[in-house]
Structure formats: C-alpha cells, structure tokens
Structure 1
Amino acid sequence: MKIIASQSGRFLYAILAVPVLVALGFLAVFVLSERELRSVQLPPPFEMPPVVDKATVERGRHLARTRGCLGCHGQQLQGVDFSEEWLGMGTTIAPNLALFAKQYEPAVLEAAIRHGIGHDGKALWSMPSYNFKHLTDKDTVALIAFLQSAPVIEQNLPKPRFSWSLRWTIATGAEPHMVDLVAEVPALRLSEGDDPQLARGEYFAMTSCNECHGFDLRGSWQYGMTTPDLAIVAAYSLDDFRRLLREGIAIGNRDNLRLMSVVARGRFAELSDEEITDLYAFLSSLAHEPVPANVSWRPDP
C-alpha cells in the first residue's frame, strides 16, 4: 500500500508540475521579449521650432499623404485595427495619430518616426520607421506640425498586444524589432554636391519606395512577398512611369499590380511633375549599379 501511495503521490506532483512549468515558460518568453524590446537607446531629444507657418504644415500634409501615414493610420489619422489582416501577430493597431500628436511631445513622435522607438521607450514592431530614417529635420518638423494640426476624430481602438508566437520570435531573435531594421537601412549615396535632381530622387525613393522594394531599392523577397528591383524603371518612358505612379497602370495597360496599384492611387497620385521626374531619373540610374549581396531583405534561397 505504501508503494502504491508513493507512486500516486509522484503522479500527482507530476500533474501539478505541468501547469507550473507551462506558466514559467510563458513568463520566460515575456521577460526575454520585453528585455529585447527595451534594449534600445533613445536618440537625443528632437526640438521643434516654436512657430511653424502654413507652408510647413502643408508640406507635412503632403508628406503624410505620399509617405503612407494616411494609408496606415486612416484618411483622418483616426487609427486603424489591422488585427484581422495580420493574423497571428496579436492585436496590431495603427494608433490615432492626431490624438497621439497632441498627447506627446515632438521628441516622442520623432523617436517613433525616425528611430522606431515608442512612447514607452521600447522598440516598435510594425511602424515602418526604416522608411523615415533619412527624413530630414526640416521634413520631420513639417510632418509633426501637420499631425499636431489635424483635428482629432474619436475612434474606439483596442490596446495593442503581441501574440505569444510573435513574442517568441522576438525573444529568440528570429524576428527583428524596428530599431534593428532601422540600423540596416543603407546611407544615402548622394548629397547636395552631387546632381541635384538625382539627389532629390534618391531622397524620395529612400523615404518611400524602400518600404516595399528593399532597403536599397533593389528588390525584396521575404515573408512570402516578392517586390521587384526598381532598376526596372529604366525600361519605362517618363510618360509611362508617370502613369504608373498616378494611376497604378503599368506598361501594357496592366492595372492589377495589387499593392502597387493601391499605393499609386492612394499616395503617389499627389506627386508633382518635378517629384516624378526626379524619382524617374534616380531609379533609372540604378540599372548601371551592381545589386548588393548578403542583405537580410534578399535572403539566400
């Protein structure tokens, strides 16, 4: 009987130990993922000028439209819940930017926009800050000024939450956070001393097109999505390229480019002729440049 009782006791302890071990496992994943998200260094505080003019706010509105802020955060910056589109990631929220800009200092907004660091000092995950790394101070001021000026449209949004599977990939280093991705964006190759048109075109491309086409604009294949090398623009005439950007229609009257057609009509339709010409000149020049190897956005097959 003692033997049976001893065996029963060990069996009971084993049963009780299972939920404890599972809880400890979840706790470890949470702690490790939080440690990873908090292992970032805040940039120097960004300072806004005390007064901005209407032209600056209008420039900010143009940036918000052409760089995709309205596409993710809503046409009135009211915030959007992407949880159903990004299944398995948890509760993924693009916050109410008009409200956010009134709740937090410009330094907090700049840290999120250009560095991928949230208001709580932790690395962001879904905000494409790599797209804004090279945004100039002047344009950053304009964008923040526009966000601050926008009326707040009330929107009931759930609190963002990472799924456990996403926390696992962050904790193990399998999924980089936004600060890591920002660090991977290459430097601009051109400066004010170079061809002004090419420099303006590179600036636009590296603050817009690199969101989808790889941080170096030479194409990307990851997460089951492939986007082309933008050197392909050399195959377009300027008129065809203008039509692609403003109408989402490619050579051969192809209007089913999926995301590109949506982005063109929603963002790029507002581009000026000068912006399109600058972008065309720069992207066409990529055909003469080698494609960088060993980059994370074009992993080896």
Structure 2
Amino acid sequence: MKRVLLLLATVAIAVPLLGLGVVFALSEARLRDFTRDTVFEQPVEMDAGTIERGRHIARTRGCLGCHGQQLEGKDFGDQWDWPERAVAPNLATYARDHDVATIEAAIRQGIGANGKALTSMPSFNFARMTDQDLLALIAFLKSAPVVEIELPQPKLGWAVRWAFTNGEERHMAEWVDAVPTLRVDAKAEPQRARGEYLAMTMCNECHGLDLRGLSIFPPPTPDLAMVAAIDREEFERLIKTGVGLGGRKLQLMSLVAPDRFPELTDEEVDDLHVFLS
C-alpha cells in the first residue's frame, strides 16, 4: 500500500512538472521562431547635429517614457503585469554594451540581444524607421550619460508562455512582420509622405498597426480617421496636451502626449495633420 501511495505521489508531482517543462520548451522555441533581416552594419556618426536629431526621435517616439527620463530603465511592476514582470532596460548602458546590429535588431526587428524575440518592446512602432533616423537615435543613446539604478530581472510568466505555446499571442518579431509598408509616394505627395512616416513611427504603438484603432495593447483606442473632423488648431492641442474637443481630457492620450509631442515642430504637426486628415 505504501508503495502505491508513493507511486501516486510521484506521478502527481511529476506530471505537472513535465507539463511545465513542455510549455517552457515550446514557448522558448516560439521565441526563436522568426527570420532575421540582413545584419545591419552602418557607421554611427557622433556629431552634435546627429545626436540632437536622435534626442528628438527618442522623445517623440516614447523612448524616455518607457525607459526613464534619463534612460535609466524602468520597472513597470504593478503598472503592467502581462508578462509577469516587465522591465525596460537602461538604454544608455545597453547602447554601450552592444554593437549597432544588435541595437537595430531590438529596435526595428523585435529581437533581443539573447537571440530571442522580445515580448514587451513595441518594435512594430519602429519597423518603418529610416536608417538615417535609426542611426541618429543610436548616436543619442550612446552619447547619453549613464545613470545607474537597481532594476530587477524581467520575467515571462507561465500564463504568457502558455499563450505563446498555444498561439494566442504573437511575439514582437511577428508583430513587426505585420506592419504595413509606407504607401504614399514621396515624390508626388511629399507632405503626406512625411506625415505618414511620422504616424507610422509614432502613432501605431497605441492606435494599431494600420492606425485604425486595433491596438495590440489595451485599452482600446480610436481610429485615427477621426482626425479628418478636427481642424489644425484643435489637432495640435490634442496631440500636445491630450485634451480633446470640448476640453475633454483623454485618458491614455493625456498620459502619452505631454511627455512626447510638445517636442514636435510646427512642420511635423502640419505634416501629421495633413496625412491623418
């Protein structure tokens, strides 16, 4: 009888452990299931103009909002528990510790330095970023002072691993592949093309890959076709303050806009408004 009970106890312990092992192995395989683009190899120019352009991109694309105002990194803790523990790394340190190809893969391809697909970094927002802007961004990150803070290790929980295993969730390298290409002819419509580029490297993080409101992350966001109903002055107030028509404070936009978009130039606001309209 004791042997039977011991056997049952062993089975009761072994089966769940085996199941967890299978989920872990399958999820790890999914995180390595992608095709990497050609290795990016271009020199980074560290002149003042390039670094300033990179700072502008970092601010308007939300790098400082997620990675800290001094690029020191951020523990999202209870703010966002989807991956169980989301931790944005120290970008000044990351840029110094890795070569351009590795940084580019993380930013535009959704691939981490460990060779696995990322799960929290919104690389789809940068998938259409030009080489020139990417290099300027890297120059800024490499030039930024390193501010050290203590950060925990990120953690991918079992629920998320199961979601990857059964196909409910996509990793960032897959989302990158789903981003539409830029469509506006830059020669025929240069202003609309500039606006499309801004929208597809700023707005699709929250408003969906095609800007029509099908956001990857909650909460739901509006279809940006609604900008056609907003004049230029109202649009600038909305995008720079997060305050909508009638003085209504928009929940998500009021958090994102003041940190990123007051940096936009008048020309950038014009271009963005023309395209979204």
Which amino acid is 2:123 matched to? S
Q: Aligned partners of 2:225, 2:44: CA distance in 1, in Å? A: 42
Aligned 8 A contact 2:46 2:139 in 1? yes
Mapping of residues 141-180 of structure 1, within 5 Å: 141-180=135-174
- What does residue 282 of structure 1 align with? 275
Q: Aligned partners of 2:193, 2:38: CA distance in 1, in Å? A: 27
Aligned 8 A contact 1:248 1:262 in 2? yes
Long gaps (5+) in structure 1: 285-301
- What does residue 179 of structure 2 align with? 185
Summarize deviations over 1:59-93 as a string: whole Å, max 9, x none.
00000000000000000000000131122522211
Q: CA deviation at 1:47?
A: 2.1
- What does residue 33 of structure 2 align with? 39
RMSD: 1.4
Question: Would you say how many aligned residue pairs link Structure 1 and Structure 2?
Answer: 277
Q: Aligned partners of 1:247, 1:220: CA distance in 2, in Å? A: 23
Among 182, 194, 203, the alignment partner of 1:209 is 203
Aligned 8 A contact 1:68 1:267 in 2? yes
Summarize deviations over 1:141-161 as a string: whole Å, max 9, x none.
000000000010001111111
- What does residue 256 of structure 2 align with? 263
Q: Aligned partners of 1:52, 1:75: CA distance in 2, in Å? A: 21
TM-score w.r.t. structure 2 length? Answer: 0.96
Between structure 1 and structure 2, the one with the greater Rg is 1
Mapping of residues 1-301 of structure 1, within 5 Å: 5=1, 8-49=2-43, 51-220=45-214, 225-254=219-248, 256-284=249-277
Q: Aligned partners of 1:156, 1:239: CA distance in 2, in Å? A: 43
Q: Relative to structure 2, which stretch is displaced further, 185-194 or 57-66? A: 185-194
Summarize deviations over 1:76-132 as a string: whole Å, max 9, x none.
000000131122522211000000000000110000000000001100000000000
Q: Aligned partners of 1:51, 1:242: CA distance in 2, in Å? A: 33
TM-score w.r.t. structure 1 length? Answer: 0.89
Q: Aligned partners of 2:226, 2:256: CA distance in 1, in Å? A: 18
Q: CA deviation at 1:269?
A: 0.7
Q: Aligned partners of 2:55, 2:208: CA distance in 1, in Å? A: 25
Aligned 8 A contact 1:83 1:89 in 2? no
Q: CA deviation at 1:258?
A: 1.3
* 1:216 match: secondary structure: coil
* 1:194 match: secondary structure: coil
Aligned 8 A contact 2:23 2:165 in 1? yes
Q: Aligned partners of 1:144, 1:33: CA distance in 2, in Å? A: 31
Q: CA deviation at 1:12?
A: 2.6
Q: CA deviation at 1:50?
A: 5.3
Aligned 8 A contact 2:206 2:216 in 1? no
Q: Aligned partners of 2:221, 2:74: CA distance in 1, in Å? A: 25
